[in-house]
Structure 1
């Protein structure tokens, strides 16, 4: 099993290499090509995302969507910087996440309280508000078209109440944010792949997380596009590991 070559994981070098990634999704051929980013990490990662466009002969003007699974800043902290660089793109967000993209002050204040000003700036850089006209909300089970590609959205609570996952139907890849666990490459040392649940304490709900694992497993996807980190090919084993871990909570 291989990943669609027009879906490109990009290492965001968040703290260390192979901790967090974004995905560039390319649709169409020739002059009709368009692109979307799924996740964007932080403003520090945006130059690398733009470099991925260059490497694939794309212009920032061809980016239509900046999709975020949720607004935690290691997933969506670069949204404003990315939209400033990609003038035709809109941010695609969960209904409960959109307001924090439009007015990120609450997110910024709570993160500064945890990390302090110096570490916050080192981790996340600058976060600006995004004009409401450039934010599109997707509901549960809605579909968004980009040329021949279709993004199908599933609400997946558990890690956060404002989380969704996105199935790209053509490639059968589901971008899972933090709802299908963490699989850092440096931990993949055994005979089987290894995932563990992402249990951020502020909104974590183990019962909802279990439901989300089942939603993802039954979505029709063959590959999970993990934010932490990269494509994960054994969905059955991954789901079993995550459910086992969640059952112990």
Structure 2
């Protein structure tokens, strides 16, 4: 068996497929297999579909062996290609968080939301036509739900904080969580001899730091050995990355509240200061983690994350719900 160059065997019959979204090693879809049956967890965008299907074929599996397509949430870098992928998987059902299911059955509002953040042209060029999933092929998840891949159980729990339509999946065999964006982002370019580096994803529009902190603590109760974030691929040394994540989350919140106090009415100036705050916090955390890349290299790799994190934090501040108690666990 020869896997495509963009697919990595992570052991335990789990495969990370680089979707090619934005840049290499930025966005992953996962293929989980047991007893000749399969599931995709996250799909990337439409352009990723050939990679997903080619990996399936390389593993000697036909398209009718896929029982589930499971987006962790419905943001388009995770689920934008789910509808088109489903057209090639005759027996698959889509397992979607109940707050997100209607947006993949009828993607219009989802696409409009992406256009508001990224712009009409960028969404068209990046995602193409987001295809709907027929309602009869959609199953809504619920907290504590368990599904089988062959004889392999995957347990889903509700994990708001990054988005209210987010669930994570527990795989007992690898003792790992498929975390989508709930447990943040960890790019392999930042790995050091001490281990990986991880930071929160606070992108628009449903960032909620209290809910996010509670979701992280709930994930940690399982004592996971590994995480499978969408951005990007398997992460070990979970206690270390959890400490990094929670420290940065606290810094984002305290920094955001300070910026709001300085700019209570000037939203344009507040947006600029939030970007500076996020960039400074990330760079300081990277240095503390032992990352030796030059500042310019670190910030170049994080450019999109800085912008989107600042935007999401600004939305949270604008909702009027941001308060000092969000800094406590």
The TM-score bracket by the shorter chain reads over 0.9
The residue aligned with 1:217 is 220
* 1:161 and 2:150 are equivalent in the alignment: no
For residues 1-249 of structure 1, what are the structure 2 equivalents within 5 Å?
Answer: 3-28=10-35, 33-189=36-192, 191-248=194-251, 249=253
Highest CA radius of gyration, 1 or 2?
A: 2
| More contact order relative to length (CA 8 Å, sep ≥ 6) | 1
What do you get for the CA RMSD once the two structures are aligned? 1.4
Distance in 2 between residues matched to 1:109 and 1:199, nearest whole Å: 19
Shift of residue 145, structure 1, vs aligned partner: 1.5
User: What secondary structure, in the 3-state scheme, does the structure 2 residue paired with 1:85 have?
Assistant: coil
- 2:31 partner SS: strand
CA distance in 1, matches of 2:54, 2:237: 30
User: When you count helix as a share of all residues, which structure comes out higher?
Assistant: 2
Question: Whole-Å Cα distance in 1 between the matches of residues 49 and 42 of structure 2?
Answer: 11
- After superposition, what is the alpha-carbon deviation per residue over 1:178-228, rounded to whole angstroms, capped at 9, x for unaligned? 011100111224633200001113110111111111111112432101100
TM-score (norm 2): 0.72
Which runs of 5 or more structure 2 residues have no equivalent in the other structure? Answer: 1-8, 254-329
Q: Quote the Cα distance in structure 2 between the aligned partners of 1:142 and 1:220.
A: 19
Range with greater deviation from structure 2 (131-140 or 104-113): 104-113
After superposing on structure 2, the runs of 4+ consecutive aligned residues of structure 1 that deviate more than 2 Å are 2-5, 112-118, 189-192
Separation in 1 of the partners of 2:82 and 2:116? 21
Structure 1 unaligned residues grouped into runs of 5+: none
